[in-house]
Amino acid sequence: MKVLIGLVAMLLVLPAAAQDFDAVEIKASQVSGHVWMLEGAGGTLGVSAGEDGIFLIDDQYAPLTPKILEAIAAIRKGPVEFVLNTHWHGDHVGGNENMGKTGSLIVAHDNVRARMSTDQFLEFLQKDVPASPKGALPVVTFSETVTFHINGDTLRVVHVPHAHTDGDALVQFDKADVIHMGDLYFSGMYPFIDLGSGGSVGGLVAGIEKALAMSGADTRFIAGHGPGSGREGLEGYLKMIRSVRDRVAELKTAGKTLEETVAAKPTADLDETWGQGWIKGDQFVEFVYMSL
Ligand SMILES: [Zn+2]
């Protein structure tokens, strides 16, 4: 199992370390009305741009801030008033300090600030993440929900406990009928569950169920990673996670060790469809086993 973790960590760490941010292009696409998504490197950004100003969800990596601001300015001129972090991972909060300097008010769940304020160790990547400087920390934090009334819409930010991490937030744009899922949604692939940061498969399933309960037939979902989708796409992803959870639970209940459970290949029939992202079937089985 150590070998497996090492291999996956290498795959994740090497591209990040060697990442050439100069080559990254920020691609903007309109999701619905005033809501846009921006893809570059790292978590997919959400943008609300309208009469009252600009609201940004996540900010990827620090070197990308100028390109992100350029892409936003092409949608609408003016400062970014708010930045909402969906969770504490570096590919979602890396631009916080830069954004704070431009005058943005940074908002996140209490646990995002708590983790960013102290040294962290990312077990999965075997990587130390030092505490962030003060200027990168969220200045407004919330425990359950916070609501923004801007751009003719109601933006409901809802905490979902112990899902991808212990500080995840979903953002619902009520009128535009869009939900930004943060890293609860790895669209079309097995998800990363950060067990060391308080994530769990039970919380992930509950969080996705909550998003579906908040949504309607035509809601668009922005994924933290991978393309966005409608309801069907998110339902298919939830079905996959539930079935892996049930299969792994059955093996664990029968007394199988982690090694035996991984060796039983409970995701064999799913890997071709869901195992093409950076989390492979064996790794996902390990996340699920460890959090049951
Ligand atoms: Zn993440």
Q: How far is the CA of 152 from the centre of ligand 1 (A)?
A: 30
- State in Å: Cα 87 to ligand 1 middle: 7
Q: How far is the CA of 230 from the centre of ligand 1 (A)?
A: 21
Rounded Cα distance between 202 and 210, Å, is 12
Q: How far is the CA of 164 from the centre of ligand 1 (A)?
A: 7
Question: What domains sit in the chain, N to C, each tagged with a CATH number?
Answer: 2-237 (3.60.15.10)
CA of 51 to the centre of ligand 1 (A): 31
Q: How far apart are the CA of 50 and the centre of ligand 1, in A?
A: 28
For the sheet with 53-57, list strands across it: 27-32, 35-39, 45-50, 53-57, 80-84, 105-109, 140-142
Distance 254 CA to ligand 1 centre (A): 32
Distance 255 CA to ligand 1 centre (A): 31
pTM exceeds cut of 0.85: yes
**Residue range 258-279, pLDDT digits in tens:** 999 999 999 999 999 999 998 9
The pLDDT tens digits of the residues spanning 38-95 come to: 999 999 999 999 999 999 999 999 999 999 999 999 999 999 999 999 999 999 999 9
